[in-house]
């Protein structure tokens, strides 16, 4: 895919999975990218491998976003204000190695809940709050949601709740951002082979998409003229399609 050589990207949750694949794809296309994560070892390794810029950022912490905004508007920022933003950071209610019983609502602890909502919801809200005042007409935002944001997901109901919230936010912001010339999309993939997915869900006969394939789809959405839409991706062999909200006729 050919994209404008002047694009400057910002990617959250960039140290692994979809985020790392997007950073690599963007750098391979010759564009600048600021990679954000809390895993400094992996993030710095990615930066060394790709030539991306890495910065520590806890997306659940508004102070980290405030510091990022100050950096982006300072003379210390060598790449400028991002015009392509991928708010991608996400977690499930517990670690991938846990048995599926630990993902159920009844196994919730306050610590797990706060972490889930902090990354999946606050990370999008605080990110938009910090970045939107800096972004200009022509900018595009892609938020990583999930098929669990538009369908039930009994394995991890609270994860599904958080992704439904993200979908609702993107749909609701779309019209106002369009007035500013900024497009926003929610990409909702099904199963992807990343460290996020519970190991107990994986098996030899269960097809999972690759992070690299989703990265290609994220780059495609940066050129999409629609806005405020929910883009479902159910398998690697089927194209993205819009799941419209009630009342959205086109």
- pLDDT tens for 146-155 read 999 999 999 9
Residue 121 lies in a domain: yes
Nearest to 2 by CA among 182, 216, 185, 186: 216
Q: For the residues 187-203, what does the mean pLDDT come to? A: 82
159 classed as catalytic = yes
Q: Tell me the per-residue pLDDT of 202-241, one tens digit each, with 9 for 90 and over.
A: 766 777 899 999 999 999 999 999 999 999 999 999 999 9
How many structural domains compose the chain?
A: 1
Rounded to two decimals, the pTM is: 0.94
DSSP string spanning 127-185?
A: HHHHHGGG--TT-EEEEE--GGGTS--TT-HHHHHHHHHHHHHHHHHHHHHHHTT-EEE
CATH number at 39 reads 3.40.50.720
The one catalytic residue among 54, 113, 153, 159? 159
- The CA distance from 126 to 118, in Å, is 10
For residue 1, tell me if it sits in a domain: no
Domain-located, residue 221: yes
Q: Assess if residue 248 is contained within a domain.
A: no
Question: Is residue 79 included in any domain, yes or no?
Answer: yes
What is the mean pLDDT of the segment spanning 162-174? Answer: 98
| Domain assignment present for 152 | yes
Query: How confident is the prediction for the chain on average, in pLDDT?
Result: 93
Which residue range forms the structural domain that includes residue 112?
8-242
Query: Is 249 inside any structural domain?
Result: no
């Amino acid at each position: 895919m050919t994209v404008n050589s002047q694009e400057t990207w910002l990617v959250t949750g960039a140290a692994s999975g979809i985020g790392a694949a997007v950073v690599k794809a963007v750098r391979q296309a010759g564009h600048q990218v600021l990679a954000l994560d809390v895993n400094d070892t992996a993030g710095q390794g990615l930066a060394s491998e790709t030539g991306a810029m890495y910065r520590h950022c806890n997306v659940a912490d508004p102070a980290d976003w405030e510091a990022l905004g100050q950096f982006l508007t300072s003379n210390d920022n060598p790449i400028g204000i991002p015009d392509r933003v991928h708010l991608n950071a996400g977690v499930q209610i517990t670690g991938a190695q846990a048995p599926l019983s630990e993902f159920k609502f009844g196994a919730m602890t306050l610590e797990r809940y706060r972490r889930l909502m902090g990354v999946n919801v606050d990370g999008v809200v605080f990110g938009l709050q910090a970045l939107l005042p800096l972004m200009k007409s022509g900018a595009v935002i892609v938020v990583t949601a999930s098929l669990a944001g538009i369908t039930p997901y009994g394995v991890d109901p609270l994860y599904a709740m958080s992704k439904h919230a993200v979908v609702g936010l993107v749909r609701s912001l779309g019209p106002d951002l369009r007035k500013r010339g900024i497009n926003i999309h929610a990409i909702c993939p099904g199963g992807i082979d990343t460290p996020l997915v519970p190991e107990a869900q994986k098996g030899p006969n269960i097809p999972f998409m690759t992070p690299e394939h989703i990265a290609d789809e994220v780059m495609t959405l940066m050129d999409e003229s629609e806005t405020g839409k929910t883009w479902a991706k159910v398998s690697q062999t089927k194209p993205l399609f819009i799941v419209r909200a009630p009342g959205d006729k086109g």
